[in-house]
Structure 1
Amino acid sequence: MEMHPMLIAIIDDDEAVRVSLLDLVEMFGYAVETFASAPEFLSSPRIAETRCLLLDISMPGMTGIDLYRELTRRDVRIPVVFMTGHAQDALVREAKQAGTCLFKPFAGGELRTAIEKAIRTAPV
């Protein structure tokens, strides 16, 4: 039986961030799909395959926290690593309660550790 790498979804409105994270996370050995917005991810047919979200907190329209709430409402349990460049944002407190929150810019090793922890501690 052929084993496929786990799918990580990157959701960030900044294209440069998506591209750089795509390359980095693929180097870690994961399959990656990127999305420019939360609604774009919600309309994806790959939600059920996704094993971890790298999710920007502050996006126009539907924020990362809004997406997390919507997935929870739908009973979709995907481990999340939140990302933000705004350490004082009120949403950061909620993100930290829901999972890991990395502050941009972060080191590749820090990201890898956060992904592995999120996947390892995900409810089955």
Structure 2
Amino acid sequence: MPRDLDIAVIDDDESFRAALVESLSSLGYKADGYASAEDYLGSIGSKSFDCVVTDIHMPGMSGLELMQQLVTQGTTTPVILITARSDTNLAAKAAAARAVCLLRKPFEINDLIGCIEGAVKD
């Protein structure tokens, strides 16, 4: 049973982002979508999130660079990285950045829910 969690979804692919926000919302989560890491960073002063789901490869700031920025700001919000690419070094980079999970598109919504619930468990 989902908890009352606020999830930020950051992905430059508008249709994927909208579908993911809709899927999370239909499962009882509060989900907000952002087209870029910069859009998300501009919003976090007014809203806090329990978990961030971000694409790695986006124009401008990447998901990995976003994670570095959040650490620099002292944010401890768990981050789940998603990607459509199959670069062999991505898993190591995600682990080094302390991502909670790395999911490769397309992924099952239940896999994402497992990552989210694992990231925010007490």
Q: Tell me the TM-score range normalised by the shorter chain.
A: 0.7 to 0.9
1:50-69 residue pairs with structure 2 within 5 A?
A: 50-69=49-68
Q: 1:47 to 1:110 in 2, by over 3 A?
A: farther
Q: Is the 8 A contact 1:65 1:91 kept in 2?
A: no
Distance in 2 (CA, whole Å) between partners of 1:5 and 1:46 is: 20
1:5 equivalent in alignment to 2:4 = yes
1:42-57 residue pairs with structure 2 within 5 A?
A: 42-45=41-44, 49-57=48-56
Q: Is the 8 A contact 1:38 1:62 kept in 2?
A: yes
Paired-residue identity, %: 33
1:35-114 residue pairs with structure 2 within 5 A?
A: 35-45=34-44, 49-88=48-87, 90-97=89-96, 98=98, 99-114=100-115
Q: 1:46 to 1:115 in 2, by over 3 A?
A: farther
- Structure-2 residue corresponding to 1:32: 31
- Structure-1 residue corresponding to 2:120: 119
Deviation at 1:82, TM superposition (A): 0.6
Gap runs ≥5 in structure 1 = none
Letter in 2 for 1:29: G
SS in 1 for 2:114: helix
Deviation at 1:68, TM superposition (A): 0.3
Letter in 2 for 1:22: V
Distance in 1 (CA, whole Å) between partners of 2:40 and 2:103 is: 20
Deviation at 1:90, TM superposition (A): 3.6
Q: 1:89 to 1:48 in 2, by over 3 A?
A: farther
Q: TM-score if structure 2 supplies the norm length?
A: 0.88
Gap runs ≥5 in structure 2 = none
Residues matched between the structures, number: 118
Letter in 2 for 1:88: D
